[in-house]
Amino acid sequence: MLIQQHEDVTAAVLDVMQRTCDPRLREIMISLVTHLHAFIQDVRLTEAEFREAAAIIAELGKLTTDAHNEVVLMAGSLGVSTLVCLLNNGDRGKTETSQSLLGPFWRLNSPRVPNGGSIVRSDTPGTPLYVNARVVDSAGEPISGAEVDVWHASPVGLYENQDASQTPMNLRGKFTTDEAGRFWFRTVKMVGYPIPTSGVVGRLLHAQDRHPFRPAHLHALIFKPGYKVLISQVYDHEDERIDTDVQFGVTRKTLGDFKRHDEPHPTDAVVPWYSLDYVYVMESGVAVLPRPPIK
Ligand SMILES: [Fe+2]
């Protein structure tokens, strides 16, 4: 069709989208074009704003490297990552779920650590934290032999790959759950940290007067054939920014009770120390690992 006026554009594009062979891609492209065109009409996007938008999308790509993913950071900052997560988990959005954001810092090949071991690999000042976790299925039955990657930021708020003072793979480890579905380890209490703000995401936060912090959290990725890979973050419910996470990742189900103890630890005699007990619930499904956001 020949386009005469702006009202004709959407119809012409949708007509082409209708011809997409793959049915799911067709559904996505028709909806995308419908909403995108409606959005442009709604805000009466100017030519200058359109050029700026194109430049921003190009910049998101240019800023993304093997060690940094600005696209994932932007998706989180707009709540897209959490929306996708909650729509696709918890019996497809019907119940609460232990699933949370993958975030930009998961790495393949974390070193194996026996249960009870430590993931502190270089001198990392901080209060000791003892994590006792269980992995169960939707019926509450333990899942043994699950592979669990854990990772978290240091007590100064940096992941090892962002911080030359930490040994490679510091505060990362891979565990296997025992017959009761348990895994447990020692580490140091992490703190909340600011996401990188030197790029496009930083400019957005500045324009909206938003702080760049994520509340303190422990990442986990749990793999066992027969179950959907569980990607989770457990958040410190006492963190001052627990309800203003810049990545909108905190859900009620992922609040963790990081308990402070002021009496000596029963075996290690440290004071003070923290404990975290948490139960991860896996859903049945196909175990597909995500693509690591960084190397
Ligand atoms: Fe994180």
pLDDT computed for residue 186 by the predictor: 97
How far, CA to CA in Å, does 285 sit from each of 133, 137, 165, 228, 290? 21, 11, 40, 4, 14
Report how far ligand 1's centroid is from the alpha carbon of 195 (Å).
9
Of 165, 164, 217, give the one whose Cα is nearest residue 190. 217
pLDDT computed for residue 93 by the predictor: 87
Q: What is the pTM of this model?
A: 0.90
pLDDT computed for residue 265 by the predictor: 94
Residue with tokens 């975030």: 103
State the Cα–Cα distance between residues 33 and 253, nearest whole angstrom: 35
Report how far ligand 1's centroid is from the alpha carbon of 256 (Å).
15
Report how far ligand 1's centroid is from the alpha carbon of 103 (Å).
6
pLDDT computed for residue 170 by the predictor: 96
Report how far ligand 1's centroid is from the alpha carbon of 219 (Å).
6
Taking only the tens of pLDDT, the chain with its 295 residues reads: 799 999 999 999 999 999 999 999 999 999 999 999 999 999 999 999 999 999 999 999 999 988 788 999 999 999 999 999 999 998 888 889 999 988 888 998 899 999 999 999 999 999 999 999 999 999 999 999 999 999 999 999 999 988 899 999 999 999 999 999 999 999 999 999 999 999 999 999 999 999 999 999 999 999 999 999 999 999 999 999 999 999 999 999 999 999 999 999 999 989 999 999 999 999 999 999 988 877 7
pLDDT computed for residue 129 by the predictor: 97
Report how far ligand 1's centroid is from the alpha carbon of 216 (Å).
8
State the Cα–Cα distance between residues 284 and 139, nearest whole angstrom: 10
Report how far ligand 1's centroid is from the alpha carbon of 247 (Å).
10
List, in order, residues 6 or more apart from 116 with CB less than 8 Å away.
184, 185, 186
pLDDT computed for residue 295 by the predictor: 72
DSSP for residue 227: B
Q: Measured in whole angstroms, how far is the alpha carbon of residue 90 from the centre of its chain?
A: 16
List, in order, residues 6 or more apart from 273 with CB less than 8 Å away.
127, 128, 129, 130, 260, 261, 265
List, in order, residues 6 or more apart from 223 with CB less than 8 Å away.
146, 147, 148, 149, 229, 287, 289
pLDDT computed for residue 251 by the predictor: 95
Is 200:61 a contact under the CB 8 Å cutoff? no
Report how far ligand 1's centroid is from the alpha carbon of 188 (Å).
15
pLDDT computed for residue 9 by the predictor: 97
